[in-house]
Structure 1
Amino acid sequence: MRRAAGFDGSRFGANFRLRLAVLLVAILTLGLGAVSYAAFTAGRQLLVPEIDQKAETVGRSLAAQVERALALGVPLSGLVGVDGSFKTVLDANGEFARIALLPAGAGAPAITEGRAVAGGRMVAAPVRFDGREVARIEVTGDPGYAQRILHGLWSDLAVVLLISVLIALELMVLLFGVRLVSALDGVESRIRALRIGDFSRRPATSDASVLGQAAGSLDRAVERERARHERLVARADDVGDAAARAELASVASDTKIFETQDVSATSAESIRAPLFLFMFALEMTRPFMPGYVGALTSDLIPLSPTMAVGVAMAAYMGIVAALQLPLAVQTARWGRGLSFRLGASVAAAGYLTCAVSTGFLMFLAGHCLSAIGFALVFVAAQGHVIDTSRGKSRMRGLAIMVGAIMVAGLCGPAVGGMLAEQIGPSLTYLVISGFALLSLAIGWTIIPLKRAATDAMVSHPAKASSLWTGLSRSPAFGVLLLGCALPAKLILFALCFYLVPMQMAAHGASAAEIGRAQIVYPMATVLLVPVFSHLSKQLDMRMPFVLGGALLTGLACLYILLPAGNWILFAILLQFGVAQAMSITPQAGLVGELASRIGAEDSAFGLYRLVERIGSALGPVVAGLLLARFGFEAALLALGGIVAAGAVVFLFVHMGTRPRSAPVESSVRI
């Protein structure tokens, strides 16, 4: 048995999923990289000639205007309004840096508009009168314009490459089939377990492929070892060999040969694809929705465009917050599959309404419909994972769900921004509605139409009376919710989804540029949340991470005082992402720690999520009021101050209300 525990599975490979993912990424990167390079090269080759051709056309047009004036008897020295006309052309054509009218002789002064630039390509058009050249129009291109266009093209291609890889990884389960991936996981988990001497029973694999058969063979081999062990135990009992019996008991304990593992997280793996597509559709609206709402606001609505955006976003999150608890019960009664289908259908109808909206009120109705659909889909997906898993596999399943949502937040804004810039917001909403329907179609084949057998299967929310009683004994818990959890979500929705898009749009940024900015925050969180979560667990400390995240958020908001244009917004979003990644997991752990002291841990997490939703709903409203009254800089500084102040208040309240018997170290290492 000891030798069997050292089973060598190296010839089967250490990690099938990892190798498959690496192979998929390599193929996509090479293919898309080649296409991107070809597109960039072609764009660079076409751009400069196009600018030269346009400069020549503009030069000839201006020269023709001067020639008409000369034909009417106006001398070059008597031309009026030339500089104003040149300025109008320059303002309308960012690719030009300078336009000049240069007389051929000494009779008239040169007229120039714009700035001289080094390295700019100049195109000249002659001005003729009486068969001779009397002047020329010079149009000088701006070399920085071509660089900006090429930089934007390269950025878009890089974003497309990154997002394509991420989407492919998210949909890998869908591409290769849920059963095949489940069988792959089954073989891999068995090999890993046997390599470390773990002989515990594992969920059977129903797949009939070679992988499924391999998993079954491993299970039968383990069953033979288990039967052999039982025979040895019976023989030791028969002869009364206590030493052998103790040795066999030690082997059983070391190899876990009579233990059974929890069910796998296949349910979460299967639901990941439709959930990702649905969340991807939602995230696509982030870059262009504020500008779209502002354009729909008419004089009939007693709201400024700024406030209209805030109202729309607050209504969305308010509906989601209000429906969380009721739908947790109702989706179990209806069945998670039916609830998911209903939610995706309602959301698709909402997006379609937004696409055809002719005014703000119609858009708001569609936006609220999509909020109802989101609440249904999210609660149904979460309930499906909880219903079909337990123990560690449930935690893994919920982590898979969160991962899909975070990756959707990373991919969606950039794609939505690029689409909105190319085809317009209305058509982009039609595409988004199509993604919601695609999520519905995939979920239809994956999530079974099951209803709860009895009301006993429906998880009712815990009564809040014990929680409120406990809160009176632990003010620190209440301050944690109101001083840390609520401001964290408030500034997230105020800054990332409201203030930054509005500010960038006000400074002339395109929807694609706004979308690229909005991937900075989710990229930081996707990469760093696991790092800070692991570090917090390793150090057994939560309070410093929560406080550090809040103070980093406040410090990031101070960057707005630096005169650096849109780049400072990228720096703010990056540091904000780092700050949120630092505090997300430790803050949830701190909630559980403090709630356990008042004996209301289950209810506390429900309240914690509700407070977060309230903060999400308040964020756009608070930001809209501050923006309209004080401006962008003051609004951002006020929000940063709220976050930092809430964390400081929590620190003092917690230090002042910790149990007297607790040592100082334990009060810090939370």
Structure 2
Amino acid sequence: MSLAAPLTVAHEERLYTRPVRRLFVFTLALLLAVQLALSLYAWSLSERALLPEFGRKAQTTGTALAAQLARALDYGIPLQRLEGVPEFFADVLKQNRDLAYLRIVDGSGKALFGSTQAESSAPEQFLDTALPLMHKGQAVGRLHVGVDKNYIAARVRELRYDIGIVLITSLLIAFEILWFVVTLTFTAPMRQILGLMTSMAAGDFRQRAAPEAGAAIAVRLHTLSARINHGFGELVRSAAALRQTSPQQAAHAEPLLQRLRQAYSFGDAAADPAQAPRIVLVRVLSFLFMFAEMLSRPFLPVYAASLPAGAAAGSLHASLPVTAFLLGVALSMPFAGRWSDRMGRRSSYIAGALAVMAGLAVTGLVPDYYALVVARALTGVGYAIMFMACQGFVFDNTDSSNRGKGMALFVGAIMVAEICAPAVGGILADRVGYRMVFLLGAAVALVAAAIAAAVLSKGVPAGVQQTPARQPQSQPPQASLLARLVRNRRFLALSILSGVPAKFLYSGFLIFLVPVLLSGLGLSKSEIGRYTMLYGLSSLALAPLFAHLADRYNAYAPLVAAGGVLTGLGLLPVAWGASGELVMLGIGALGVGQSMSISAQLVLVARVTAQEAQDAGTGPIVGLFRLLERLGAAAGPVATGALAARYGAAHAMAFLGVFALGASLLFSLVFALASRAAGKPAGPPAEASA
């Protein structure tokens, strides 16, 4: 039996760890090679494909305009005396941003009309299309339609950026799908087989949960182990019966039973470690529901503003649908967790996915403003249910030894979706329209529900009702806990001056203001999606680094304060002139700043409420902190929308910078004074749940 543990490590490495690693490397290398080849081919074709397209656009527009001008000439109006041509051309150029100028010249080449003149010193900078203006079969002039080659070059660059974004996001999505499929069909069954074989080799025949029917080898091993376990049980029962009928023979059999008990393990196993690989299921389920929701991030406020709302919405026209979603999340999440505990992770996840699907489908199919607000609230409720189901699944399938890994899988999927979804949604919105992107999100939510129905177990997770931390009767009254937390100045400073502002800025700036401001600057939805990606990239890359630094140097409070100060400084420069680059600076500052502060906030919550947690547990305290954060997130778009309506989007961004800077500096002061008044540093953090 002493060889069981070394054999487990060796078998694990030989049987599936090394083959899976090689499979991943080979498959991803193959995908990368194919994607690079396709991307390079598309890159080379981008300019050759766009130039004729702009030429055809100029030809088509010019033909239509020439026909309208010809009808005016047919009424006997001389070409030189046509009325309203400059205003008409200005409207056409406003509707066709790819056109640089429209100009009419007479037969001698003299310019008669033109809303924008081409630079005569650099005619090579324009792609000029000339069409004759006919009257009674004779050409009396020409209409020139010009396209700026710099605009064409910008479109080519944008197309190439889109190619690069598609390359990155497709590889990330392929990685998520590959990880899910390999884990479900190979890694998890192999670990289960290896666990059963190792247990049996070590003499452990205790009864465990039956493997899934599709795992044939694991089922056979489980059956063999169950028969041996059952056989020992029959032997024990026979010995007990023998004691009643023939005590002397039973005494001879007892040493044999004792040796069997010492050499082997029988009975029921408390837990089955072979089920641990199932926590990877939460990654693909988390990725799918976040991806479905975040597809609309680059344009949702702009789309809302485009729908007629009457006078009821007022300054909240663009922000109210965003707030409805966030308020739905904030108010539903506390109840969603308890409901998921009662109904089971499978049922609750499917219900949440169907709610999200219904909300996104209504958004895409019904172009009505108030239907949009209701649909976004419904989507928020579904989002909260799915989030709590995934988080609960992690807690059900992990313990203190691997819960950190489980939560890392959960949060990692969210970060990957934060990178991929806005970029993909922006590209699709430019090409197929807003409503089709909403319908795509609904389809993704439906796929998530189907996958959950196929891979998650039915019923309520075992042990949920028996876990003391989950029983409300084991906690002090909520009013008593609230009263104690209100008197805790460090908790108040952390919640009101750090946690709430962080979520306020995230929703008010990133979710609401960035699409509005960048759209107003003339950027496409694809560009907005690329800008938004920066937040997810910085969070994914830097959050582990800052968490390590906080742990190593015990610098939780300084990192929380520094993250807020950095965010404020990044948002302020736009006050001196709005530009895409300064908005990108603000997004990057928000991403880096929140990477510094988010994980440190939870550690500080556990530390500064150590005394309250001894009586109430850490869960209710963290739950209250999260509720305050979510309410701050719901307030962000409303307040920012009001600022943007009154002062403009750029000044609203600067106001957010002042708010972030002021809240962070005030947090530093209040927290330091409260810590000094406490008289001693906070103790080690307790385990907290998100």
TM-score, length basis structure 1: 0.80
1:285 corresponds to which letter in structure 2? S
Please name the residue that 1:565 is paired with: 579
Task: Give the aligned residue type for 1:579.
Answer: G
Contact 2:607/2:683 (8 A) holds in 1: no
Q: 1:71 to 1:289 in 2, by over 3 A?
A: closer
Aligned equivalent of 1:180, options 167, 181, 186: 186
Quick one: structure 1 residues 83 and 376, their matched pair in 2 at CA, closer, same or farther if it must change by over 3 Å? closer
Shift of residue 316, structure 1, vs aligned partner:
2.2
**What is the alpha-carbon distance in structure 1 between the residues aligned to residue 330 and residue 68 of structure 2?**
63
Q: Is the 8 A contact 2:516 2:649 kept in 1?
A: no
- SS of 1:140 mapped into structure 2: strand
1:443 aligns with 2:457: no
CA contact (8 A) 1:559 1:568 kept: yes
Of 154, 157, 177, the residue aligned with 1:151 is: 157
What does 1:540-619 align with in structure 2 at a 5 Å threshold? 540-596=554-610, 598-599=612-613, 601-619=618-636
Match of 1:171 among 159, 173, 177: 177
Cα shift at 1:406: 1.6
Give, in angstroms, the shift of residue 596 of structure 1: 1.8
SS at match of 2:28: helix
Separation in 2 of the partners of 1:648 and 1:513? Answer: 34
> In 1, Cα distance between the equivalents of 2:600 and 2:20?
29
* Aligned partner letter, 2:581: W
The answer to whether residue 648 in structure 2 is matched with residue 634 in structure 1 is no
Distance 2:395 2:526 in 1: 38
**Residue 624 (1) aligns with residue 635 (2):** no
Match of 2:44 in 1: 41
Q: 1:599 to 1:63 in 2, by over 3 A?
A: closer
Aligned length: 607
Deviation, 1:456, is 2.6
Match for residue 27 of structure 1 among 27, 30, 41: 30
Counterpart contact for 2:74–2:135, Cα < 8 Å? yes
- Structure-to-structure mapping, 1:188-207, within 5 angstroms: none
Q: 1:81 to 1:426 in 2, by over 3 A?
A: closer
CA distance in 1: counterparts of 2:355 and 2:551, whole angstroms: 41
Q: Which residue of 2 aligns with 1:414?
A: 423
Report the 3-state secondary structure (helix = DSSP H, G, I; strand = E; otherwise coil) of the residue aligned with 1:456: coil
Is 1:298 the counterpart of 2:309 in the alignment?
A: yes
Q: Is the 8 A contact 2:574 2:651 kept in 1?
A: no
- Supply the distance in 2 between the matched residues of 1:387 and 1:536 (Cα, whole angstroms): 28
Q: How far is 1:182 from its partner?
A: 2.7
SS at the partner of 1:298? coil
Amino acid at match of 1:585: S
Residue aligning to 2:291: 280
Q: Write the distance in 2 (CA, Å) between the matches of 1:359 and 1:66.
A: 38
Q: Are 1:120 and 2:126 matched, yes or no?
A: yes
* Partner AA of 1:584 in structure 2: I
Letter in 1 for 2:295: M
Give the direction of change, closer, same or farther, for the CA distance of 1:577–1:135 in structure 2 (3 Å limit): same
Deviations, residues 186-219 of structure 1 (Å, cap 9, x unaligned): 8999xxxxxxxxxxxxx99979999999x99xxx
Distance 1:273 1:346 in 2: 19
Aligned counterparts, 1:270-349, within 5 A:
270-299=281-310, 302-304=312-314, 306-349=315-358
Tell me the CA shift for residue 133 of structure 1. 6.7
Q: Which residue in 2 is equivalent to 1:244?
A: none
Q: Tell me: CA distance 1:437–1:541, structure 2 relative to 1, closer, same or farther (3 Å).
A: same
Distance change (3 Å), C-alpha of 1:134 and 1:585: same
Distance 1:320 1:131 in 2: 68
Q: Distance in 2 between matches of 1:132 and 1:573?
A: 59
> What amino acid is aligned across from residue 371 of structure 1 in structure 2?
G
Q: CA deviation at 1:551?
A: 0.2
Contact between 1:348 and 1:434, CA under 8 Å: does it hold in 2? yes
The match for 1:656 among 673, 681, 687 is 673
Please tell me whether the aligned partners of residues 290 and 417 of structure 2 are also in contact (alpha carbons under 8 angstroms).
yes
CA–CA separation in structure 2 for the residues paired with 1:445 and 1:67: 66
Question: 1:516 corresponds to which letter in structure 2?
Answer: R
Q: Distance in 1 between matches of 2:371 and 2:420?
A: 28
Question: Is 2:466 the partner of 1:456?
Answer: yes
Q: Is contact 2:517-2:650 (8 Å) kept?
A: no
- Answer yes or no: is 1:513 the counterpart of 2:524: no
Larger CA deviation: 26-35 vs 465-474: 465-474
* Cα deviation, residue 82, structure 1: 4.7
Q: Which residue of 2 aligns with 1:385?
A: 394
Percent identical pairs in the alignment equals 29
Alignment check: 8 A CA contact 1:317 1:616 kept: yes
Distance verdict in 2 for CA 1:125–1:575, change over 3 Å? same
Equivalent residue for 1:266, pick from 252, 277, 282: 277
Using the alignment, how far apart are the partners of 1:389 and 1:26 within structure 2? 32
Alpha-carbon contact 2:571-2:585 (below 8 Å) kept? no
Alignment partners' CA distance in 2, 1:183 and 1:30 = 30
Q: CA deviation at 1:400?
A: 0.8
Deviations 1:367-423 (A, max 9, x none): 222222222211112112212210121221112111111211221122222233333
2:607–2:682 CA contact under 8 A, matched in 1: no
Deviations 1:235-275 (A, max 9, x none): xxxxxxxxxxxxxxxxxxxxxxxxx9977742320222122
Paired position in structure 1 for 2:261:
none
Write the deviation string for residues 610-664 of structure 1: whole angstroms up to 9, x where unpaired: 1111111111122122222332233222322222222222222222222569689
Superposition map of 1:420-439 within 5 A:
420-439=429-448
Q: Does 1:98 align with 2:101?
A: yes
Q: Is 1:493–2:496 an aligned residue pair?
A: no
2:664 counterpart of 1:647? yes
The secondary structure found in structure 1 opposite 2:366 is: coil
CA contact (8 A) 2:575 2:650 kept: yes
Name the CA shift for 1:133/1:284 in 2 (closer, same or farther; >3 Å). Answer: closer
Q: Is the 8 A contact 1:339 1:376 kept in 2?
A: yes
Q: Deviations over 1:72-121 (max 9, x none)?
A: 77666555555445444433433332344444549x66654333255323
* SS at 1:141 equivalent: strand
State the 1:457 CA deviation: 4.5
Query: Would you say the 8 A contact 2:570–2:586 is kept in 1?
Result: yes
- Distance, in Å, in 2 between the alignment partners of 1:95 and 1:272 is 43
> What is the RMSD of the two structures over their aligned residues, measured on CA atoms?
3.8
Q: For each residue in 1:348-383, what CA deviation from the matched residue of structure 2 results, as whole angstroms up to 9, or x when unmatched?
A: 222222223242332223222222222221111211
| 1:62–1:439 Cα change, 3 Å | closer
The 2-side partners of 1:8 and 1:332 are apart by 38
Aligned counterparts of 2:593 and 2:424: Cα–Cα separation in 1: 25
**What is the CA distance between 1:547 and its match in structure 2?**
1.0
Whole-angstrom CA distance in 2 between matches of 1:465 and 1:130: 90
Q: Distance in 2 between matches of 1:183 and 1:167?
A: 23
Greater mean alpha carbon deviation, residues 20-29 or residues 331-340: 20-29
Residues 1:132 and 1:490: Cα distance change in structure 2 (over 3 Å): closer
User: 1:470, 1:599 within 8 Å by CA — same for their partners in 2?
Assistant: no
Which deviates further from its counterpart, 612-621 or 117-126?
117-126
